[in-house]
Structure 1
Amino acid sequence: MNYSYVIVENRGHIAYITLNRPERRNALSIDMMNELITAFKEARANDEIRVVVLKGAGEKAFCAGGDLAGMHAQIENGVIAVRQFTSKYAEFILAVEDLSKPIIAAVKGFALAGGFGLAAACDLTIASEDAIFGAPEINIGFWGGIIAAPIVRVIGMKRTMELFYTGQTINAEEAYRIGIVNKVVANSELEKEVDRLAEVIASKSPTAINMGREAFYTIRDMDYRASVKHLREVVTILANSPETREGMSGFLNKNRT
């Protein structure tokens, strides 16, 4: 597919998807979200791709949130028009989970509002030292809305409420402390660290990684007993896969020599 707002580059087993509106700090328009959803679907369908890296073009922002100019125009056109935008963001944020392959957010600069929600929705997040996270919508009389879903699941209700009620931003170190970010690195090291992590994951069994990822998302909505029973079935199926059998046999044979 030819993209206008997204750059897609496949290198080996890794797909690099870049939000490409640097002049708007990679703000999410409906057209951009449509392209991102398509890019995710293509990565999911490509058996050669094992990991997806998501980043923003330019030096200023990973993603500054929804395109306010576009959203304001839709507000002027009434509730139905607004619903088109909010429905598209909901579809987009769910597409991250539906990707079925690990996705790493590489965050440099601002990750605000919808961009904050996007970073939280990704499986792993690596941030540069200059990264800034927050839900500033309340400062213009609005509320974060849909982004609350992934953020609450990552950092809990009270921290999410604090960020949403105050509109304050947090730096990368604080985002790491509360669990939004897996690791903080120097700005110059971000690309190298993300590549390293993606390559490590891509080197593992894709069957085990993908079944494990699906299991993580499935048990998140289950009670404890149901999750244990579900994982019992996942492990039983996985143990009989060719990759697992081969891996176990190789490990045991190596230890015998």
Structure 2
Amino acid sequence: MAEGLVVEVFDRVGYVTLDRQPRRNALSHAVMEGLVETFHRFDHDDDVWAVLVTGAGSDAFCAGRDLKELAGRDSRDAPPPAPMRGLLRNPFEVVYECRKPVVAALNGAAVGGGLELAMACDVRIAAAHATLGLPEALRGMGANFGAAILPRLLPVGIAYDLLYTGRSLTADEAARWGLVNAVVPGEQLAAAAEDYVRTVLSRAPLTLRRYKASIQSSLQLPLSAALRLELAPDPYGSEDRVEGVRAFAEKREPQWRAR
């Protein structure tokens, strides 16, 4: 696995930790490649039903692209990497397209590419001291994924404001706008995120994957067209649907099998 990225699978959860604390968990080229590889693997791993992404330490979830690495490339007259156009797929796009539920635990600052990574996840739980922003306009860079997804998560005027000014939101401000789902004290973040993921795991996995496919496919469609999308997986003909109904009738917890 890529240096600076810790990946584990335990009890149906894929755990992804950005671990470059001296660089505030910034995204190196190797880490971005590792994210693409990891999420592609998780997407096709039947033993992974959900993914939890966080950063090491308490200072930063992810400080965005490693600008020192970029500066080194510039000093060698090498063009900066352009993942959306090059051989390396955009890691944020790969995270966003993962068919499994993906939760981000924001243990600190999520700025630039760090916020883009967080927004690629389905649910965001933030430590109270976390900050969120897209400061690319202050560095002459372009948050391509962020500019595309931010107005899908926030009112358009707020998205313009954050992109134009590069200012950061506190965790509480982000929660008021719905950019994060919950804010908890920093020392409680790991437990809160784990509890949330365990709640997700207690739900029918094929149903959740269909929900995600439906949401992502229908966001820009009229309701009449969205209702007629042919989406997979189909939970109605699954063993899990039979188990869910049977468990309800027998007054017990269902035992999901994702089939």
Whether these two folds match at TM > 0.5 is yes
2:236 to 209, 215, 239: 239
Map residues 1-257 of structure 1 onto 2, 5 A cutoff: 2-76=1-75, 81-85=79-83, 87=85, 91-230=90-229, 233-234=230-231, 237-252=234-249, 254=251
Partners of 2:198 and 2:251 in 1: CA distance:
24
1:84-129 CA distances to partner (integer Å, 9 max, x unpaired)?
A: 3554686211111222101100001110011111111110000000
Letter in 2 for 1:40: F
Deviates more, 1:160-169 or 1:192-201: 160-169
1:161-194 CA distances to partner (integer Å, 9 max, x unpaired)?
A: 1011112111000000111100000011000000
- 2:256 corresponds in structure 1 to none
Give ranges in structure 2 of 5+ residues lacking alignment: 253-259
- Point out the structure with the larger helix share: 1
1:37-85 CA distances to partner (integer Å, 9 max, x unpaired)?
A: 111122222211111000011221000111112223344566x822435
**Contact 1:22-1:57 within 8 A present in 2 as well:** yes
**Contact 1:5-1:21 within 8 A present in 2 as well:** yes
**Contact 1:136-1:168 within 8 A present in 2 as well:** yes
Letter in 2 for 1:159: I
Paired residues, number: 251
Shift of 1:254: 4.8
SS of alignment partner, residue 81 of structure 1: coil
**Contact 1:143-1:164 within 8 A present in 2 as well:** no
**Contact 1:30-1:85 within 8 A present in 2 as well:** no
**Contact 2:112-2:134 within 8 A present in 1 as well:** yes
SS of alignment partner, residue 84 of structure 1: coil
Residues 67 and 240 of structure 1: CA distance in aligned 2, closer, same or farther (over 3 Å): same
Partners of 1:51 and 1:94 in 2: CA distance:
17
Partners of 1:234 and 1:104 in 2: CA distance:
22
**Contact 2:24-2:63 within 8 A present in 1 as well:** yes
Letter in 2 for 1:222: L
When normalised by structure 1's length, the TM-score is 0.89
Letter in 2 for 1:155: L
Shift of 1:17: 0.4
Shift of 1:150: 2.0
Partners of 2:83 and 2:26 in 1: CA distance:
13
Residues 158 and 76 of structure 1: CA distance in aligned 2, closer, same or farther (over 3 Å): farther
Shift of 1:227: 0.5
Partners of 2:40 and 2:232 in 1: CA distance:
27
When normalised by structure 2's length, the TM-score is 0.88
Percent identity between matched residues is 29
Give ranges in structure 1 of 5+ residues lacking alignment: none
SS of alignment partner, residue 190 of structure 1: helix
Partners of 1:160 and 1:87 in 2: CA distance:
24
Partners of 1:167 and 1:236 in 2: CA distance:
40
Residues 87 and 156 of structure 1: CA distance in aligned 2, closer, same or farther (over 3 Å): farther
Partners of 2:206 and 2:128 in 1: CA distance:
34
